[in-house]
Amino acid sequence: MASHRRPTQPGLGQSTRVTVLSAAAATAAAAFAAPASADPADSGKARVDRLFAQAEKATEEYDKADERAGELRRQVRDAQDSVARGQERINRMRGALGAIAGAQYRSGGLDPSLALLLSENPDSYLDKAAALDRLSERQSTQLRELQQEMRRIGQQRTEATRKLAELERSRVEVARHKRTVESKLAEARRALNALPTADRAAFDRASRGGGRTPDLGGAVPASGRAAAAVLAARQALGRPYIWGANGPSGFDCSGLMQWSYAQAGVGLPRTSQAQRYAGHQVPLSEARPGDLVVYRADASHVAMYVGNGQVIHAPYPGAPVRYDPVGMMPVSSVTRV
């Protein structure tokens, strides 16, 4: 898996900004950006677009929280396994010391120092030098190892308890983001259904995409892994947008990027905000196939550049993975993985 490199962060040049803004203006109707017109239908389309954008931002927050919850689940499982293994070691050590105690008892008496075997907490007894003086060197070593192991297991139990509490807080956060996403999507659907019939039909046509492969101009990817990621992204064309999904049957925007690069053997972080730092940034004017194009100031959407001013991306619920112009919305940065 490729390592994540903290990139340099050059700003987009002025000429690039002009290009991006011009392209965005040329495709504003398809993207349903808010126009200057006071037409109520236009305002309705702008509201639908804004709600989908808010839902996408909430989806990225959900992805981040869900990824953290998954990592915490692994940590809790590892901590619990470690505690269980440690307890087995303690039981074996107690068994060995118990055998010594039994032998001493049968031979005429139990060394008082071995009475600690009857206690769950030998610390206070072991700390007394007089007790250790009555033990053989081997017994003393075994008892100190038992003491150390019990302390270590106690610390691990405390850490596991802390991780469990953090996991529960993370689950609450995941549920909260899920409710936000579902609320925004429901509001967007209501706004979409309220559009005039002709505007709703136009939105539906745009959501289905053209279905044709654009002229990609023979652009060359920056690396073999980028070429493999582009090939994977093309294989995903037509698959549905499913919020929180990272393939292979459906995707959200960052899930498509993560899945595509995984097919190339490269591990990307889960969210678009983190993916923008998964390589080094380049000017939009130098974008090559496989580069990640991150949109909006909050980096809430990401697509893959494929050449000749086109990207592949998972747009929003109801729209399949498709090609669109790179300037479909304001570009925040371009990252070469």
Told to judge if 4 belongs to the known catalytic residues of this protein, a careful annotator would answer no
Residues 6 or more apart from 196 whose CB is under 8 A from it? 41, 44
Of 4, 177, 280, 313, the catalytic one is 313
CA distance linking residue 268 with residue 261, whole number of Å: 7
**CB of 322 closer than 8 Å to CB of 239:** no
How far apart CA 231 and CA 53 sit, in angstroms, is 27
Active site residue 280: no
Residues paired with residue 240 on neighbouring β-strands, in sequence order? 320
Distance, CA of 8 to CA of 128 (rounded, Å): 60
Q: Which helix (H) or strand (E) holds 213?
A: none
Q: Tell me, what DSSP letter sits at residue 51?
A: H
Given 4, 177, 280, 301, which residue is catalytic?
301
Give the CA distances from residue 227 to residues 56, 194, 263, 319, in Å, rounded to whole numbers and listed in that order.
27, 42, 11, 25
Decide if 253 is catalytic. Answer: yes
Q: How far is 111 from 120, CA to CA, in rounded Å?
A: 18
Asked whether the beta carbons of 288 and 221 are under 8 A apart, the reply is: yes
Residues annotated catalytic, as ranges: 253, 301, 313
